[in-house]
Amino acid sequence: MPDLSAVDKPFGLEPWGPVLRARIYAIVTSNAVAVSPGDLMEDVAEAVATPKMGVLPKAIPEETGAATSILGVCLATFDHNFDPCYYIPITTTGNSVIAGYALIADHPDQEYVIQEDGATSSIQVADMGLNADCVLTHAITASDNYHSNYELDSNTVNTTSTLALKIIGVHPEDSISSAGAAGNHCRFIVKVNASYFGANATAV
């Protein structure tokens, strides 16, 4: 794959390296946010009896949940009949109990790759090891097969422990300057900063 650091084309988050574990979660009926492969997902501390997979925990796209509520990344979506689908649109009724299902990579040690948004300022070499949130800056479209539009929010990079992701490194095929040139859309290797399944995590 070529250096993509000059092209703003979000793809959400994708596993970096082998997928360490993945489980099926239920997506709430009449969901307030669409769910797409590549979305960062969080637990909502509820379970529901599903028609196809028994009792499952519920999950939603990560927004402003508890610091340790983040599960991981959606790998695939299914409708309420457990048939594969591109994504689960907003306000999907499903069977009036669930909108559908999501396969989520939820191992706390899983690493991912994500593109930064390059807004205002870009992430610098010195920012490796710091934390950051995600941001949704693009509409989900059919031309992208309804794939996630999450990007790494370059304006949130900090030491704050409640930020969603920890920046581990730079994608080996992308370039980044020591000054973090404005407009840079480099891909970064990250992991969940405070995983729901992490050691000593507080329950949601």
Rounded-to-integer distance, Cα 129 and Cα 132, Å: 10
Provide the pLDDT for residue 111. 97
Provide the pLDDT for residue 12. 92
Buried b (16+ CB within 10 A) or exposed e, 28-65: bbebebbbbbbbbbbbbeeeeebeeeeebbbbbbbeeb
Query: Would you list the domain boundaries of the chain?
Result: 22-105, 109-192
Rounded-to-integer distance, Cα 68 and Cα 143, Å: 34
Phi and psi (nearest 5°) for 27? -105, 130
Residues 6+ apart with CB under 8 A from 113: 13, 14, 15, 16, 171, 187, 188, 189, 190
Provide the pLDDT for residue 203. 47
Provide the pLDDT for residue 1. 58
pTM, rounded to two decimals = 0.89
Buried b (16+ CB within 10 A) or exposed e, 91-126: ebebeeebbbbbbbbbbbebbbbbbbbbbeebbbee
Provide the pLDDT for residue 32. 87
Indicate the residue type of 25.
Answer: Y
Residues of the chain with pLDDT under 50: 65, 200-204
Indicate the residue type of 105.
Answer: A
Provide the pLDDT for residue 185. 84
- Classified as helix, coil or strand, 3 is coil
Provide the pLDDT for residue 54. 94
